[in-house]
Chain A
Amino acid sequence: MSGTKKAATAPKRKFSLNDLTDSNMLLLITVVVFLLMYIFAVVALGGGFRAPQTFLNILGAQAALIIGSCGMSVVMIIGGIDISIGGVIALVCMSCAVYLDYSNGNVFVAVLLALAIGAAYGLVQGFLVAYLDIQPFIVSLAGMFFARGMTTIVHTEPFNVQNEQFVALKGTRITVPGLGTTNRLGNYIDAYIEIGVVVALLVVIVLFCVLRWTKLGRNFYAVGGNKQSALMLGINVKRTKFIAHMICSVLAGLAGFVYFLHVGSGSPSHASGLEMNAIASSIIGGTLLTGGVGNIAGTFLGVLSLSTIQQIVSSLGLDQAWWTGITVAVMLCLFLVIQSVVQSRKAKS
């Protein structure tokens, strides 16, 4: 079992890296790598990276991924996996788009629709995984197939949403005071963020608190660390697993709406491969797929690292499509090897 449960506060002596728990160690690595990368980008590439707006744009483009990755981290902490979130996002986008355009619907009902799709997914997948003991990979694989198929059954062709209420909401920008820049003409331009970013940040904060300070959150870690001991501690393992899957799927539904808000269209190919990016972000953020170790703050940084490196690659002029895939893979490889080394270090000591 990993050393998560060990007290994080080291006794008062000379600080050494060995005092860190797995969780903190991995988080520290993520933070350092992210900062180094961003500083490198600012120093070497300058230009766009110096403007806070670039950072906020990254946030805006990745809001759905942030929400999805948070859900993924929760499931990974209990030792499961959910590869259906990309499909759920596509399904939510398409359903909301059809609802808004064909029956001229209300945006708030669309939000409810998105959450309901997520909840339905969580209900079925959670039940199958927790109470019928079916491998989460297979369940969510079928879930992914189902969502992708259903998306095309709902509507085959991609299309843009014209609904006025929605378009107004999509265009809403929230200005961030103090981060604006002056352009070449000397005019001050306010920095702004999209609504999705606010939602994503709220999700990160709430989930961070839940995992850290609530009984439910600690139960997640206990179940993921060692199911047997968790059971002996009197934790309802099945219910905990069920809730984790429920959280992940509802968040996928929410991420779907945020994604929809960002792109403003429905398409069967939306968010393809997003589940893999979410898994990669969680891993880069220090979540172990074996369960029991993970941190939402790390996941958040994981998403940011992933998108920063993509930005760096494209601004280095390596804009052939394949470089993005290859750099992300190299980064993932690096982090996996680091994780592996950290874990074996723990096992030895």
Chain B
Amino acid sequence: MKKNNFLKDLVGRQIFIPIAALLVLALFNLIADPAFFKITLGTNSTGDPVLSGYLITILDYGSELAILAIGMTLVTAASGGQDISVGAAMAIAGSVTLKVLCGSNTRPETLQAPIIVGFLVAVIVAMLFGAFNGVLVAYFKIQPMVATLILYTAGRSIAAWINNNELPVISDPAFAYAGGFIPGIPIPTTCIIAAVCVILIVLVMKFTALRLYTQSVGINESSARLNGLNPEMIKILAYVILGVCVAIAGFIKVSRLSTINYSVIAKDIEMDAILAVALGGNALSGGKFNMGASILGAYVIQFLTTTLYKFNVPSAALPAYKAVVVIALVVLSAPTVKDKLSGLGKKLKSGKQGKEGA
């Protein structure tokens, strides 16, 4: 009986959905090919020690998504909608970084500015675009998806405009550290960046009232106002934080490539980021949220992607499989289906008991 309660408690928890999905995927891989979980320490082309293996790939390539999921969760919770412009905004942030680092020369021998300056300028620009979205949502009361549709439409054009549609290439190996490996450290740098972001947001959650404020604005805006909060400011803050996340993710993306492709970079990543939030069991209509579940959701999506790649699914066909998984998960977690299932479970149980009684 006690065990049953524990199980019920676990199933009732929000984080159950991503964990269950992760377990199912892991089990599937374990049965199909146990070598999936092998991690080896090798050396890369420059002779530095690096870890490799599918799990490392997942952690590595899931970083951008995990970082975006942090901001997206806050935006979803505060404004009850999603930002669909993150992919386009990442293109802008990447473009700005390259512009600052390269100056007018598209193939510079030496960088025009320290890398950190390029990154910081991108952060500021991304924060401004975040604030723009935030103002539209908070003060003009436009639904978030529609308000961010503006930047979604214009973003990649603006990114191309910043660099005059040229594709700067940075040959400095130091620039590639963020998206690859720092010599001497076998862990991918992206994982470290993601971990730092996660720790930062956990600390912020722990020591500030951000979580409480965001949730109260998301649950009931007018009562939040009556309690002395400023819902507009909190919404804008959520979008600005997402802007910072976007800049970090964009920086990782351009660092991986050392260049940029305006129409392809971070394409459809907004959809993955929203899925991460949904997979984490957060209501897309705002209110309560669970940050850990969202971040886990991001890695589940990357896990799924990597698994599919491993089974030689062509990258263009990937979305079809993803969609099936998403629909299955969403249907299972839909309240109506949950009610039906638990009703069915009760019926089965009572039937059993009735039989035992007879």
Give me the interface of A with B, judged by CB distance under 8 Å: 81, 128, 131-135, 137-139, 141-146, 148-150, 152-153, 156, 268, 276, 279-280, 283, 289-290, 320-326, 328-330, 332-333, 336-337, 339-340, 343-344
Task: Supply 14 A–B pairs (Cβ within 8 Å), ascending by A.
Answer: A138-B330, A141-B271, A142-B322, A144-B323, A146-B319, A156-B316, A276-B152, A325-B154, A325-B158, A326-B157, A332-B149, A336-B140, A340-B141, A340-B142
B309 within 8 A of A: no
**B37 located at the interface, meaning its Cβ lies under 8 Å from any Cβ of chain A in the complex:** no
A343 nearest in chain B by CB position = B141
Contact B274 A141 (CB under 8 A): yes
**A326 contacts across to B, CB distance below 8 A:** 154, 157-158, 161
Q: How many A-B residue pairs have CB under 8 A?
A: 137
Give complex CA distance A135, B282 in Å: 12
User: Which residues B267-310 have CB closer than 8 A to chain A?
Assistant: 271, 274-275, 278, 284-285
Tell me if B228 counts as interface (CB < 8 A to partner A). no
Contact call B161/A149, Cβ cutoff below 8 A: no
With a CB–CB cut-off of 8 A, which chain B residues contact A321? 157, 160, 165
Contact yes or no, A320 B165, CB < 8 A: yes
Q: Is the CB of A128 within 8 A of B327?
A: yes
Instruction: Determine the distance from Cα of A332 to Cα of B285 in the docked complex, in whole angstroms.
Output: 24
Whether the pair B320, A324 counts as a contact (CB closer than 8 A) is no
B31 at the interface (CB under 8 A from A): no
Looking at chain B's contact residues, the main secondary structure is: helix
Contacts A138-B278, A141-B271, A152-B314 hold; do A336 and B323 have CB atoms under 8 A apart?
no
Q: Is the CB of B274 within 8 A of A152?
A: no
**A251 CA / B117 CA spacing, docked (Å):** 50
Which residues from chain B sit less than 8 Å from chain A, CB to CB? 82, 136, 140-143, 145-147, 149-158, 160-161, 165, 271, 274-275, 278, 284-285, 314, 316-324, 326-327, 330-331, 334-337
Distance between A228 CB and nearest chain B CB, rounded to angstroms: 16
B145 adjacent to A289 (CB under 8 Å): yes
Q: Are A150 and B145 in contact (CB under 8 A)?
A: no
Q: A137-B145, A139-B327, A156-B314 are in contact. Are A145 and B319 (CB under 8 A)?
A: yes
Chain A min CB distance to B5 (Å): 28
Which of B150, B155, B316 is within 8 Å of A149, CB to CB?
A: B316
Shortest Cβ distance from A344 into B: residue: B141
Which of chain A's residues has its CB closest to B331's CB? Answer: A132
Contact of B82 among A137, A143, A324, A333 (CB under 8 A): A137
When A and B form their complex, which 9 residue pairs have the shortest distance between CB atoms, in order from nearest? A149-B320, A325-B157, A329-B154, A322-B157, A146-B323, A145-B319, A145-B323, A152-B316, A149-B319
B320 nearest CB across to chain A (Å):
2
**Nearest chain A residue, comparing its CB with the CB of B278:** A138
Contact B320 A148 (CB under 8 A): yes
